[in-house]
Amino acid sequence: MSTRLDELAARVSAARADAAARGETFYPGPSRIHLAAFPPKQRWDDWVELESTDWPRRTERHYMLVPTTCFNCESACGLLAYVDRETWQVRKFEGNPEHPGSRGRNCAKGPATINQVTDPDRILQPLKRAGARGSGRWEPVGWDAALDDIAGRIRAAIVDGRANEVMYHVGRPGEDGFTERVLASWGVDGHNSHTNVCSSGARAGYHFWTGIDRPSPDHAGAEVILLISSHLEAGHYFNPHAQRIMDAKQAGAKLIVMDTRLSNTATHADFWLSPYPGSEPAILLAIAAHLVRTGRYDREFVRRWWNWAEYLAAERPEAPRTFEAFEAAFGELYASYTFAFAAAESGVPERTIAQVAETVAAAGTRLSTHTWRSAAAGNLGGWQVARTLFLLNALLGAVATPGGTYPNAWNKFVPRPIHTPPHPPSWNELTWPLEYPLALNELSFLLPHFLKEGRGTLDVYFTRVYNPVWTNPDGLSWMEVLTDERLVGLHVALTPTWSETAFLADYVLPMGLGPERHDLHSYEQYDGQWVAFRQPVLRAARERAGAQVTDTRQVNPGQVWEENEFWIELSWRIDPDGSLGIRRYHESRAHPGQKLTVDEYYGWIFEHSVPGLPAAAAAQGLTPLAYMRRYGSFEIRAGVGAVHEEPVPESELDDAATDGFGRVYTRAPAPASPNVVPMGTPEPDAAGRRPVGVVVDGVVRRGFPTPSGRLEFYSRTLAAWGWREEAVPGYQRSHVHPTALDADQMVLISTFRLPTQIHTRGGNAKWLDELAHTNPLWLHPTDAARIGVGTGDLVRVETEIGAFVVKAWVTEGIRPGVVACSHHMGRWKLREQGQQGQRQVMATVDLTRRDDQWRMTRLAGVAPYASGDPDTARIWWTDVGVHQNLTFPVHPDPISGQHCWHQAVRVRPAEPGDTYGDIAVDTGKAHAVYRSWLEQTRDAARHSPDGTRRPYWLMRPLKPSRDAYRLAEEPAHDAARP
């Protein structure tokens, strides 16, 4: 059978013959063989293409192709940098066909990496504040001076017992564990993340079921795909998932999309459901109840793998401990979740829900489901969206099956690093306050309120690829604390570009973009495990050409550094003589007493922690590090399968004991595993044995990393920590449920992305800015008629704490009564900051404050400007959208800690004097809203069942020592009482 390559070769032969017949010289094409989709890896040292700017002359350019990974979302797709062998500059980025997750494909943001590299407004040298914070006055500073100053303050904080005053706050990590390891080496519980404004709602829903906080759907093998997010354009792992969703659709799979807004994904769906925001669990529970009522579920799977016996013992002690009794109890629990009820809550027609339920039922074990952010990040109780979605998989047995949904830990690989410091000995209540013992991540977005309340202060605060003033809700409260040097002593912004938050720093330190730094990744994008290597491509290119590069600054533009080398250097300066015990975690193993290099750090990992890589490298005569520098990724295994079903070998059952529900504990030491992927760490038994598996029909199997070892339909953790009524998958009416709104209020959805924007980092990616640079308010025609506005008219959107003025976009792509505004746009810089900033996407504003009253007025949009890039003189757009997040108060979910983004708003025509982009905020009201949500919590001091601050088994990005978990005082009352 003829292959595609044969066909292409035949065409080339025919073209050669044609040319010969015309008496012309045949030009075989720059690639010499054919225009293949991807350059074959054997030719990455010298790949030839024609110089496009010389057309019609055929000028051949020779490139070295160097792999790295994209840093423009969390998918970590593979990129190939085309490094010009003459100039040693990167000319473009395209997909890396060797990357198992992205398979050579990218979204628009991958190739736009070149815009970021050549951005004329990027920061190229370290800067130090030269006036008041936020005054816009800066002076250049050397790396050495900045490092010494920062290191001295951190050392003093550690030595003085003020370690909790050191905090590292990260937006997009883009790596697995490097910085957590650095903080652990300092003994500092100082990790803060953005996750509670992002995905912790979904994570909590998954974690309480499986002990793992992410799903890994096998979309490509599915017969039915059920999504609660906009995956094809902007959702989680969206390019790697989108291509697999399309594979499945082409093979005949049905696609169900629940999204109040007609997203690009919804346009591809067989069923688009536009539910009233927050009602998603009601629909999912109605489908679940239908599956059970009609007997269309996998009874054996439920019997074997759910912790139903534990549920009966805790909640139905009078019932016989039989599976039939559980089935009856399940039916009773969800009897009220009829299609009619779901239709009344959601506004989706009953008939449509019934059709969807039948479609789901027909999927059997080939149901792939996914939710991330979206409804789970919008609503009070949103974490139950993920919990009720996974309930469908758990009922159908579509868990770790081909076409089903896997727990992510089985499709992800985090290699063990060269040094592993101990858990920090302290607990930081600025990130993990007692009110939120079950939060999946740091209460990051409450930091300004905690600082204002006097819960602590920060001496050294790093923001890294993080822009809370713009990204978080309530940004002006952030501004208030970041400009107060009594609350934040030193603010160090680690960033490649200017941002609203970097303007408020004391040091702005230029860090490398994706192709200028090292990182390791592995993400769950199909049933397999891979690792990918982000690397500074010019360093790798120079080294491939025989040069020696000892510091990434030698090849990066200006004085741009990479963070890993920065952290190693900083750690050495904190502990120059090693007396604090920090330095040893940043020393070479090969050359004790010398500084660890990134080559040794990654070389050790690839040599010792990635199974199969050393052999694959040796087969090509390469070291493992050289292999990863050349190809950028490695697939460890495909087809991981159902890990929970694996029998536990006898050798791991030393002095084993089993509890009343089949959880098995052992004294055998845990086998050393190179994979340190984060997941739940269930507690040992009373005799100190570690959990090793669970008995299922007489066989000890691996099970899940939950307390019971099973899928936890019933969470004893939730019940024991004061949330008994939430211990099983359920539906809690959202804070924006119709019954919570006034008659003239609507719901604002602000959680959706623009597919070609990247939060803060895409700012000056000129191709992306040209594609998308505004965020009008989606408004249904019936609402537009009622309000009396049309497309392009200015409307005033009033929230609990303020208002913003934006343009209307009238569309039937949103349900009546709901409005939507994308969260990517509305970047700004203060008038005082002049030319500093991302001038392709930032408006210039005037910002005034009188006590708690803030006003922002737009002075100018963007305009053409002269720079080293002639395209900046061709900017044709002025609009950059409106920064709505400033007008949102914080809404922390009392269980998951997730910020509940949806807002109850009033939408009116703009008033006389209102102008586009106007913003008004009352930060006093913002603090009052924070206090009111705080009152909904059930804190550890009153509800801890065991004298700890938080269940030890729950994941934490940087886990302190077990001692740090102990409360200073015993709980105030019986914790089991809700």
> What is the Cβ-side half-sphere exposure of residue 781, based on CA atoms within 13 angstroms?
3
Which of residues 268 and 667 has its CB atom nearest to ligand SF4 in the complex? 268
CA distance 409 to 324: 32
In whole angstroms, how far apart are CA 43 and each of 30, 66, 340, 415, 956?
12, 11, 62, 30, 44
Three-state SS string over 788-832 comes to CCCCCCEEEEECCCEEEEEEEEECCCECCCEEECCCCCCCEEEHH
Which of residues 74 and 645 has its CB atom nearest to ligand SF4 in the complex? 74
- Report in angstroms how near the CB of residue 256 gets to ligand SF4 at its nearest: 22
Which of residues 72 and 379 has its CB atom nearest to ligand SF4 in the complex? 72
Which of residues 72 and 307 has its CB atom nearest to ligand SF4 in the complex? 72
Amino acid at 843: A
Nearest Cα to 844, choosing from 136, 291, 132?
Answer: 136
Which of residues 401 and 525 has its CB atom nearest to ligand SF4 in the complex? 525
Provide the b/e sequence for 364-401 (b: ≥16 CB within 10 Å): bbbbbbbbbbbbbbbbbbbbbbbbbbbbbbbbbbbbbb
CA distance 500 to 829: 7
963-966 long-range contacts, Cβ below 8 Å, gap at least 24? 963/425, 964/189, 964/423, 964/424, 964/425, 964/426, 964/427, 965/427
Strand partners of residue 47? 63
Per DSSP bridges, beta strands 746-749 and 818-820 are parallel
- Report in angstroms how near the CB of residue 628 gets to ligand SF4 at its nearest: 18
Strand partners of residue 147? none
CA distance 523 to 531: 8
- Report in angstroms how near the CB of residue 230 gets to ligand SF4 at its nearest: 13
Nearest Cα to 36, choosing from 62, 66, 11, 2?
Answer: 11
Which of residues 241 and 553 has its CB atom nearest to ligand SF4 in the complex? 241
CA distance 705 to 715: 13
Tokens 């269930």 map to which residue?
A: 682
- Report in angstroms how near the CB of residue 102 gets to ligand SF4 at its nearest: 6
- Report in angstroms how near the CB of residue 301 gets to ligand SF4 at its nearest: 33
Which of residues 74 and 683 has its CB atom nearest to ligand SF4 in the complex? 74
CA distance 235 to 259: 12
Q: Determine contact, residues 635/616, Cβ cutoff 8 Å.
A: no
Which of residues 67 and 110 has its CB atom nearest to ligand SF4 in the complex? 110
CA distance 794 to 77: 39
- Report in angstroms how near the CB of residue 98 gets to ligand SF4 at its nearest: 15
Tally the residues of the chain: 978
Burial class (CB in 10 A: 0-12, 13-18, 19+), 591: exposed
Tokens 């077990």 map to which residue?
A: 962
Which of residues 107 and 357 has its CB atom nearest to ligand SF4 in the complex? 107
What single-letter DSSP state applies at residue 337?
Answer: -
Which of residues 112 and 309 has its CB atom nearest to ligand SF4 in the complex? 112
What single-letter DSSP state applies at residue 659?
Answer: -
Which of residues 104 and 611 has its CB atom nearest to ligand SF4 in the complex? 104
First to last CA, the chain: 69
Q: Determine contact, residues 621/612, Cβ cutoff 8 Å.
A: no
- Report in angstroms how near the CB of residue 826 gets to ligand SF4 at its nearest: 21
Nearest Cα to 799, choosing from 898, 907, 891?
Answer: 907
Which of residues 280 and 524 has its CB atom nearest to ligand SF4 in the complex? 524
- Report in angstroms how near the CB of residue 182 gets to ligand SF4 at its nearest: 24
Which of residues 442 and 635 has its CB atom nearest to ligand SF4 in the complex? 635
- Report in angstroms how near the CB of residue 241 gets to ligand SF4 at its nearest: 9
- Report in angstroms how near the CB of residue 678 gets to ligand SF4 at its nearest: 21
- Report in angstroms how near the CB of residue 77 gets to ligand SF4 at its nearest: 3
- Report in angstroms how near the CB of residue 764 gets to ligand SF4 at its nearest: 16
Residues that bind ligand SF4 (CB under 6 A): 70, 72-73, 75-77, 102, 106-107, 109-110, 238-239
- Report in angstroms how near the CB of residue 172 gets to ligand SF4 at its nearest: 11
Q: Determine contact, residues 195/893, Cβ cutoff 8 Å.
A: no
Which of residues 93 and 427 has its CB atom nearest to ligand SF4 in the complex? 93
Scanning 632-695, the segments in alpha helix (DSSP H) are none
- Report in angstroms how near the CB of residue 704 gets to ligand SF4 at its nearest: 29
Which of residues 108 and 362 has its CB atom nearest to ligand SF4 in the complex? 108
Considering just the CA atoms, what is the radius of gyration of the chain in Å? Answer: 28
CA-based diameter of the chain, in Å? 96
Q: Determine contact, residues 111/768, Cβ cutoff 8 Å.
A: no
Q: Determine contact, residues 918/805, Cβ cutoff 8 Å.
A: yes
Which of residues 240 and 709 has its CB atom nearest to ligand SF4 in the complex? 240
Which of residues 110 and 397 has its CB atom nearest to ligand SF4 in the complex? 110
Nearest Cα to 604, choosing from 620, 588, 616?
Answer: 588
- Report in angstroms how near the CB of residue 204 gets to ligand SF4 at its nearest: 24
- Report in angstroms how near the CB of residue 534 gets to ligand SF4 at its nearest: 11
In whole angstroms, how far apart are CA 873 and each of 774, 862, 868, 870?
20, 11, 10, 6
- Report in angstroms how near the CB of residue 219 gets to ligand SF4 at its nearest: 15
Give the tokens for residue 574: 């904190």
Cis peptide bond prior to 468, omega within 30° of 0: no
Which of residues 116 and 200 has its CB atom nearest to ligand SF4 in the complex? 116
CA distance 749 to 751: 6
- Report in angstroms how near the CB of residue 164 gets to ligand SF4 at its nearest: 34
CA distance 764 to 842: 9
